[in-house]
Structure formats: structure tokens, C-alpha cells
Amino acid sequence: MKRTVLMRRIDRRTMLQTTGMAAAGLALHSNAWAWAYDAAGGSPIAPIATAGFPIATTGAGKISGVLQDGINVFKGVPYGGDTAKTRFMPPVPPERWTGVRDCSAFTTMAPQLQGARGGGAGRGAGAGAQGAMATSSSGVPGAPREQGTQSEDCLHLNVFTPGLRDKKKRPVLVYIHGGAYNNGTVNSDLYDGRRLCRRGDVVVVTVNHRLNAFGYMYLGDLAKEYAASGNAGQLDLVLALKWIKDNAAEFGADPTRVLIFGQSGGGAKCAALMATPVAKGYFQRVMTMSGQQIKGASIEIAAGRAKTVLQKMGIADGTKGKELVAALNALTMEQIQDGARAVSSDWLPVVDNVILFRNPFDPDAPALSEDVPMMLGNVHDETAVGGGLNMTWEQAPAALDAAVHEYLGPVKAEDAVAAFRKVDPTYTPVQVVRAAATAFRAWPGQRWEAERRAANPKSQVNTWVYQMNFPGAQGLAMHTIDIPFMFDNIAIAENQVGREPEHLAQANSLAAIMSQMLITYGRTGNPNGDDKAKSPTQDGKLPYWPAYDLKNRSTMMWEAAPRIENDPRGAERMIAEQSHYHQAGTPLP
């Protein structure tokens, strides 16, 4: 049934916010970003922008957006239908509408297991009353406030493009958010794509999709309607990529140059898509940022989790088929969320032999995507640990064991601490614990994926690795710190990056290099571009970046002056290799 969707009424205040009249005369420098803040001095309301309400035609109907800084911006664009109508089933295209649908602001996000946590709601969701920094649902400390309400009608994406219907074929950079498979959204100004568009004439798309039980609960053994339920969230992403392909010409995009990239859980979803047959052909490059997916959940493990969740939802054991479908459809969104919390953070794509037929990167890298370029990154201080700066050597083993017990395998915590002290005698106790925790828990998955790509001559030549060393506000290169650098959005991430003027200047300089690299990679499939001379790029600011191999393990070190280092932290790597890698959410090896 067709429905008419009218543009919402634009009042004077909204017009001032979206046209920039509220800050007339304020000049925008190419390396700075002006924002309008609410009266309380809190989070950004809207970027200072230029007037204009562009109209685009999608396969489901016309949409209106806003023109900001010369970039056409569309937010909350439906790429799929309301998933309340297709619970635990593959997504369907959105219903067609008549008239023009208002897509000028974020709308909804997927139902979460938990939302933004800690701290307060100051500028950029900064420090709270106790000095704690707020963390977004995607796990980003100090991130700008997330926007929108939780809803099963969440299959929306955001598009940033320099042109409409201009017959240009711009590379497409598609960002998938983190938050594991449990939480997260792209409804945040942290992922605003305008600066990437302006820097490199690209199209940026950011995607919301189903999470936790809504997107990854395996029910295929209980009802044929739910055969693909264990990968419904992944199928949402495939539908989004199909939407991009089908609507590419309207947004001045090239569907043959699509880069998917994501941080943490977003990177893991990218890795899983590389092993998913129905996703093949919808993307041509991949970048994962501190996110990997070595294994998926087995049917046995996934079915057991589903049983626990169904019991929490009040569904009687043995309920199957149409009776189960009716019972699940009768639940509220909140009841499903409450049930999903029974297994906390164990949600993963399922090796169901329907959508996913193998572990994404085990026992080897997927041949399905061996011809797809892949970049893999991690940050130096991935794993947060307790204990504080005053930790003693006597306390260090217990702190390490508390942080990563299940990842140490046969290695005793006290032996790991002793070994890491020998690697770098200048390490303090907390530095040893942080380095060891990272080496045993957060880093191995990225290493394994890179090593398995490097073991195949076809994929080795198109595999690159980076390590983010540039420190953030806390003096560490912590999980998520690379996001504002890749998006070139330092100005709205000062709570995360730091505010000291010299540090900010260096951060903006590095962000310019990293974001240009991302654009070049999206355009050519190679961070070095089309240059065959193996020479530095960006006027010498970016060294030539060799492909990763098992001999040299060449790694781009993101620092104030980027450089290449072979086998960084090699001694730490060899200590951690005494333990078998453990993928979170899967049985211990």
C-alpha cells in the first residue's frame, strides 16, 4: 500500500540552524569546522551550513536533504522496510512512498542492549559530574551525542555526496559502526562525511542495521521462516550495499569502487562479509579498524544461546514453527531486548550453512574475497586495564589476569609480566599489563587475518597493515582513536583526541594524511594510489606503503610523521603466540 510522506514543516529556528544564517559572516577554513551549539553549551545541534534543500530520487521515492558546505546531505534514508514486520527474517526493500520524504535529520537507531554510558552530556558528550568521560553506544569515549530513538524501523542510511545526477563516478566509502554485534549507531556527527567529500570528491555512506537478538539470534532449527535469522543483521548490510548499487547514478557514485570500512564490531562485520557469498560483488575494497572476525558462532552454540534467550522472553521450551513465529511477533521490542541481555555480548554471525558457510578467517582467509584489497589496522593501546598508574609489580599479574584471563591460555600471568618486562625494561607495571593485555587479547585477531591473507599469493599483494600510535586525550592510542582521523573530524572529537593547541595541530595534520590515504585507497584499491614507482605520496608526507608479507610484516605507523616499521612489537608478538587465539563469543580452544 502506497503512503504519502510530506516534508516536515521547517520553522525559523531550523532554517537558521541548517542554513548558517545563525552565524552569518563566520568563515569556514578548509581545515576547521564550525558548529552551532545549543543554548546550554552542550552537544552540536547542527553544522553551520549553506542554504539549500536538494531532492534525490531513490528506488522507493523522492527524498529531500540539506546542502551543507557544498555537500548534499541526506540522513535517515530508508534502504529496508520496518523490521518489526520481518522479525528474525531477511530484510525487505522499503515500501514505496509518494511525495517527498524529509531526510534532513537522523531518525532511528536499532534496538540496543545498552546505550551511551557514563559521563555527562556536555559538548561532544564530554566529562560528567565525576569527571568520567561519556562513551557512545559504539564504544567511543567523548564522542558527540548520538541522535535518534530506538526502533525496529531502523534500516536507514546516511549519504554525503558532492553531486547529484552529474554522471560522475565517485568512489563510495561505506562505514559500518562498532559496538560489537550488540550496540551502536552511525547517528552521530563523529561519522559526518562532508570533510571526506570535500577533500577527495567521494561519496560517503554510513549504515544502521539490526543488532543483538534482532540481528543475530539463530532460530533456524525451530522454524523454517527463520532459516537466516542468525545472520539477519549481515543481510541488512548486504541490502544496504545493494541499495547503493541500485541508486549509485542518482548520487554521483561508482558502484564498482565501493570500500566498506568499520571500526571494532564494524570491522568484524566487514571481515564476515568477506566470507559471505551473497555479499560478493557489492564491495571492491575493505578496511578494518581494530575489528576482526576469525570465527563465527556454530549452530550448536548459537542454538543454545537462543534457548536461553527464548526462556527469558517467556517462550515455552519446544515451541516451534508457526506457533513460535506467532509468539515472537506478539512480543514488544523491549521484551526482546530484555531477553537478548540474557547472553550479554555473545552475539556473532552464525555459520548456519545458509548465509555463512565457513568461519570468516579460519582455518584460512576466505578464497571468496582473495582478489579484494584489504587493509587491517589496530591501535597501540587497544585493551584498557584496571589498576591505575600507581600499580606495583606485585599487583601486575593479578591485574593482567583480571583483564584477559581467558586469552592467556597456558601462559601464566606472572610469566607474561616477567617476559614483557624483559622486552622493555623501561615499562612501568601498568604499561606492562596494558601491552600484554593488548598482545594477548586485542591484537591477535588482526595478526591472524593479515597472516592468513599473506599466506595466499593472490591476496598478499593487496594486503596492508597499520598501527595507530598517535595518542589521544589520555596520552594513549586507545581503542577508537583512529575514527576521527580517518573521517578528518578532529574538530568535533577534542574530548577524545585532546585540546592542547600543539597536539591538536599535529592531530589535524595527521588526520589530513590519513583521510587522504583512505580516499586514495577507495579510489584505486591501493593506499599508494596508481604510483608504480614505490615512492612517497602526498608531497612526501606519506611513505611508500609495502604490502604485508610474512617476512617483513611491513606496517604503517600512524604518528605525527608517519613511517614504515617492519614487525613492530615483534618480541611481544612472539610471547603472545604461546597462547592460542580466542575469538570472543566462541568456546575456549
- Asked whether 1 and 95 are in contact (CB, 8 A), the reply is yes
Confidence band, pLDDT 50/70/90 cuts, at residue 176: very high
Question: Does residue 47 lie within any of the structural domains?
Answer: no
Structural domain boundaries, residue 394:
367-576
**136 a catalytic residue:** no
Specify whether the CB–CB gap between 443 and 382 falls below 8 A: yes
Does residue 72 fall inside a structural domain? no
Rounded to whole angstroms, the Cα distance separating 408 from 417 reads 11
* The pLDDT value given to residue 144: 85
Tell me the residue ranges of DSSP E strands in 226-350. Answer: 253-263, 285-289
At residue 525, does pLDDT exceed 60?
yes
Residue 135: pLDDT band (50, 70, 90) is: confident
What is the per-residue pLDDT for 586? 73
Tell me whether residue 232 is in a domain. Answer: no
Residues 246, 235 contacting (CB under 8 angstroms):
no
Reported pTM: 0.89
Cis peptide bond N-terminal to 363, omega within 30: yes
Sign of CA dihedral 413, 418, 422, 427: positive
Q: How far apart are the first and last CA of the chain?
A: 52
Helix (H) or strand (E) holding 153: none
The whole-number average pLDDT for the span 85-96 is 98
C-alpha span between 157 and 138 (Å, rounded): 16
Whole-angstrom distance, CA of residue 442 vs CA of residue 445 = 7
Give the model's confidence band at 344: pLDDT under 50 very low, under 70 low, under 90 confident, else very high.
confident
Q: Treating both helix axes as pointing N-terminal to C-terminal, what angle do 265-273 and 232-247 enclose, rounded to 10 degrees?
A: 80
Overall average pLDDT of the 378-391 stretch: 89
In the set 43, 104, 264, 579, the catalytic residue is 264
Q: CB-based contacts of 128: which residues, under 8 Å, 6+ apart?
A: 118, 119, 120, 122, 134
Within a domain: 55: no
The type of residue at 233 is G
Which pLDDT band, with edges at 50, 70 and 90, does 51 fall under? very low
Specify the pLDDT at position 130.
31
Q: What is the pLDDT of residue 133?
A: 57
Task: State the SS3 of 344-385.
Answer: CCCCCCECCCCCCCCECCECCCCHHHCCCCEEEEEECECCCC
Retrieve residue 470's grid coordinates: 598517535
Supply the pLDDT for residue 580.
80
Distance CA 184, CA 111 (A): 9
Domain assignment of residue 22, yes or no:
no
**Crossing angle of the two packed helices 396-408 and 429-437, in degrees rounded to 10:** 0
Q: What is the pLDDT of residue 263?
A: 98
397: enclosing H helix or E strand: helix 396-408
Give CA separation, 243 vs 27, 156, 267, in Å: 36, 11, 20
Per DSSP, helices labelled H in 409-551 are 413-423, 429-437, 444-454, 457-460, 483-486, 494-497, 501-524
Which of 26-35, 274-283, 472-481, 551-560 is least confident? 26-35
Q: pLDDT at position 143, please?
A: 80
Enumerate the β-bridge partners of residue 377: 289, 466
- Answer yes or no: is pLDDT of 425 > 90: yes
Residue with cell string 532449527 = 221
pLDDT band at 328 (very low <50, low <70, confident <90, very high): very high
Average pLDDT of the chain, as a whole number: 88
Question: Minimal CA–CA distance to 78: which of 14, 143, 3?
Answer: 3
Range from 5-14, 292-301, 374-383 carrying the lowest mean pLDDT: 5-14
pLDDT value at position 39?
A: 31
d(CA 462, CA 426): 37
Over range 504-511, report the average pLDDT.
97
CA atoms within 13 A on the CB side of 327: 16
CB atoms within 10 A of CB 2: 9
Decide if 292 is inside a domain: no
User: Which residues, 6+ apart, have CB-to-CB distance to 17 below 8 Å?
Assistant: 36, 45, 46
Report the number of distinct structural domains present in the chain.
1
* Distance of alpha carbon 166 from alpha carbon 249, whole angstroms: 8
Judge contact between 377 and 482, C-beta under 8 A: yes
Q: What is the CATH number of the domain that holds 539?
A: 3.40.50.1820
Predicted local distance difference test score (pLDDT) of residue 489: 97
- Nearest Cα to 293, choosing from 369, 222, 220, 219? 369
As a whole number of angstroms, the distance between CA 534 and CA 328 comes to: 57
Could you tell me which of 190, 179, 182, 191 has the C-alpha nearest to residue 265?
A: 179
- Kindly state whether residue 98 falls inside one of the protein's structural domains: no
Buried-exposed string 410-440: b where 16+ CB fall within 10 A, e elsewhere: ebebeebbebbbebeeebebbbbbbbbbbbb
**Burial of 99 from C-beta contacts in 10 A (0-12 / 13-18 / 19+):** middle
Contacts of 34 (CB under 8 A, 6+ apart): 23, 26, 28, 47, 48
- Residue 581 covered by a domain: no
Q: How confident is the model at residue 533 (pLDDT cuts 50, 70, 90)?
A: confident
Cell readout for 96 is 514505496
Q: Coil, strand, or helix at residue 156?
A: strand
In the prediction, which pLDDT does 134 show?
67
DSSP for 186-234, written as a single string: S-SGGG--HHHHHHH--EEEEE----HHHHH---TTT-GGGTTGGGHHH
Cα distances from 449 to residues 78, 285, 361, in angstroms, run 33, 15, 6
Average pLDDT (343-370) is 95
